Structure formats: C-alpha cells, structure tokens
Amino acid sequence: MAVAAAVPASEPLLAPYSDSPELVIEPVAGTPATRPRLRLQGNWPTPCLPSVDAISLDGSELRIELRSKKPLCARASVPFDIDVDLAPQLGRRWPTTPLRVSVLTANTATGPSQLRGFALIAPQPGPRAVPASGLWWPLPESDATNPMAGTGFSFEIQGDTIAAAVLGRTGSGDAIWYFGTGRLRGRTTEIDLVAATRDGVDGARRAGDNAVLALDFDGNGRATAWLGRYEQGDNQPVLRQQVIALAHLPFAERTDGTAWQGDWVLLGATPGQPRSARQLRLSATGFIAVANYRLNGDDGSVLSCEREPGAPKAAPPQRCRLADAKGAVIADFDAIDINRLDGFAPDRTPVQLIRADRR
C-alpha cells in the first residue's frame, strides 16, 4: 500500500472542486491587430484568485503560468476571468501559424505548476488544410522509438466537419476506442473524445476514460496531435498529455516514392487558366539521396521530392516540385499526401495534383 507524502502546512490539500476540467482559452473578441490578447476563463479551487505569473514563447509554443500566492484560503470554487496581453511576446499581430497555448496553474506561492489546459489559437485566416480521410499512424521519434506504437488514428473529413477515432490501449493494457467529432478551422481542430471500453465489474463505465484531442494539420498528410486525459489532482483537474507526430502513410514497405506512382490529374497549372486540367502518369525512378526521390512523368516532366533533415524514413515528403521536360518550374507543393498534393504555380495560382483512380 502506497503512503502519501506529508503536505506542508502552508500548502493544504483541498477537496477537488469539480468534476469538470473546463478551461476556456480564446482570443479576446474585437482585439485590434496591434494588440493580441487571450481570455482565460475557468474555476479556481479557492476565492484567492490567480494572476499571470509568467509567459514564455518558444517558436509556436506559448506557455502561460497562473498562480495564487495567498496562503490559507477557504475551500470554495470561484470563477475566474483573466485577460492576458501578449503584445510583449508576439508584437503587433498574431502569428500566421497556429499558437500552441499551454496554461499551467498553481494554487500556492511555491508549489509546482501543473498543466490545466491546452488550445490551438489561429485567429488569422490562413491556408485551409485538406487532410486525407483514412488511417493515420504515429511516426517514430528521431531515435526510432515509438511511444505510441500500436495506436491508430482514423479521420473522416466532410466539408468543415472532422470525425476522429483513436484505437489503442489503456495503461492497464485493455483495448480502448475513442470517438468524437469537431469543426476543422483552417488547419486546426479540437475534439472531445468519448471512450467506448469494457465496463467495470459493477456495470458502470470507468471514470476518466474520456479524452481530448487537438490536431494541427501542417499538410495534407502530416499533423501534430495532442492527446490528453484529465485526472483529478489534489485540488484541481490536471491534464496528462501526449504529443504525437502523425502521418497518412502508404501501405508499402518501400519509401522511394513508389506510393506516388500512377495516374494523376494536374489542376490549375496552365498560366492564365486556373481551371485548367491535364492528365499525368508518374513512374518512380528511385532515390536521389537518403531524403530525396523523383518521379518521371509520361510527358517528360519530373516530380522531385524531399524530406526534412532528420525525419523518419516513413514520413511523407516535406515539399515537392514539378518541372517540365526543360526544367522550368510548373508548381511547388508544400502540402503532400499519397493521394493529393497542393501548392502554387510560379505566379501563385493554386495548383493541385490529384490521384485519378481507375475502376
């Protein structure tokens, strides 16, 4: 039997205030472009409400720490509403890529801060992702390990609605299946997942099985996922979160571009004719280097692709370029999937390369 560690008198244990972990993280409505601000709303376990203790920005990762420094407060849940000015970190405007906002909280002056909430914030309209429907898989880390091995993700996209299913195992090894739907906003979505798992011996569904999923699709076949589950801490819900690199992978053992072979339709690549379309048949010719490969078109064109340095061999390319038989650029693609590539012609006309399936 485990023995709980003694708690200092200055940091009393408080009964959990709520079964609801809700923490709203959103841009302040009507914020001018010169003053990015966030609004944080939730419940605090005592009337000693918190203030912003620290804000840090590392690339797209924004970390906000809230802390109450008053000791010996009553045990009573009280709503809080905090306006966070981000101009010192972001400057005069929101970034073009989504902010990955983590909110950590602590109810004492010296206690450790714990993750309480997470959100993807992208208030500026940007390019809309076209993620592929189907099975997605966690990519291995740079050291070839895969902490999420055996976990599968299935996405179905219809318009702006995305349905997600996650198939995996609980910490005790039991099979578990999560399902939820959400709205795809540009390239991000946040989904509440409901668990479908074996009931407990008393016939009731086990508490804590539900999960939350945030997705940032940085391409048609690549995404970062934040899969989390709330647990009750000593005095507040705590978000346990796993960050996962996902990809829509071909059912093939080879990674030399053969999955991109076949018949395709090229849309929008004729100058001055954004609705133009022509057929193209691609055949893989193998590796140029470890991270690069090329495919030859039946009209003499060449599709050359490359992965980012250090990416797993199974990862889809980061970018591809289609050039004609004379080497002139037709299109640069920055959103890559095995069935669709999106990019731009040199004059910035949107171009798509879409697989043509034959019956």
Give residue-wise pLDDT tens across range 186-236. 899 999 999 876 554 444 444 446 889 999 998 899 999 999 988 887 777
User: How far is the C-alpha of 349 from the C-alpha of 352, rounded, in Å?
Assistant: 10
**Same CATH fold assignment for domains 134-142+149-247 and 258-355:** yes
Q: Which CATH number does 258-355 carry?
A: 2.40.128
> What number of other Cβ atoms are within 10 A of residue 269's Cβ?
24
For CA atoms 273, 274, 275, 277, the dihedral sign is positive
User: How far is the C-alpha of 312 from the C-alpha of 246, rounded, in Å?
Assistant: 11
Q: Which residues have C-beta within 8 Å of that of residue 347, sequence separation ≥ 6?
A: 271
Whole-prediction pTM value?
A: 0.84
Nearest partner of 229 among 115, 101, 100, judged by Cα: 115
Give residue-wise pLDDT tens across range 111-160. 889 999 999 998 766 667 889 999 999 987 655 555 566 789 999 999 89
Mean pLDDT of the chain: 82
Q: Where along the chain do its domains lie?
A: 24-121, 134-142+149-247, 258-355
Highest mean predicted confidence (pLDDT) among 4-18, 165-179, 279-293: 165-179
Q: Which CATH number fits domain 134-142+149-247: 1.10.10, 3.30.1380, 1.20.120, 2.40.128?
A: 2.40.128
